[in-house]
Amino acid sequence: MKSCILEGIRIDGICACVPSYTVDNATFGAELFGDRIEDTLKVIGVQTRRICPPGSGITSLDLCMEAAKKLLEHHTFSSSDLGGVLFVTQTPDHDMPNNSSRAAHLLGLPKNCSAVDTNFGCSGYVYGLWLAGLMARSLDAPVLLMDGDTQSNCTSPRDRATALLFGDAGSATLLVPDKKAKPWHFGFLTDGSQQKVLMIPAGRARQPFDEHSLEYREWPDGGVRRPIDIRMDGMAVFNFVVRNVPPVLTEVLKNAGVPADAVDRLLLHQANLFMIEQVAKQIGISRDKMPVSLDRYGNSSSATLPVTICSKLAGELQTERKRTLLAGFGAGLSIAAASIEMGPCICPGLLEYPEG
Whether the predicted pLDDT of 24 surpasses 90: yes
What sections of the chain are H helices per DSSP? 25-28, 30-33, 37-44, 60-72, 99-106, 124-139, 234-256, 273-283, 294-297, 304-312, 314-319
Look over the chain and give the mean of its residue pLDDT values, rounded to a whole number. 96
pLDDT tens string 172-206: 999 999 999 999 999 999 999 999 999 999 999 99
299 CB-near residues (< 8 Å, 6+ apart) = 46, 151, 165, 166, 167, 269, 270, 271, 272
Give the integer Cα–Cα distance in Å for 111 and 159.
44
How far is Cα 286 from Cα 305, in angstroms, rounded to an integer? 18
Q: Is the pLDDT of residue 356 over 70?
A: no
Task: Over range 99-115, report the average pLDDT.
Answer: 95
Q: Measured in whole angstroms, how far is the alpha carbon of residue 106 from the centre of its chain? A: 22
What confidence category does residue 1 fall into, taking pLDDT thresholds of 50, 70 and 90?
confident
Asked if residue 177 has a cis previous peptide bond (ω within 30° of 0), the answer is: no
CB 296 within 8 A of CB 48: yes
| Pick from 74-78, 99-103, 110-114, 140-144: least confident | 74-78
Quick: pLDDT tens for 249-260: 999 999 999 999
Model confidence at 75, pLDDT cuts 50, 70, 90, reads: confident
Query: pLDDT at residue 46 above 80?
Result: yes
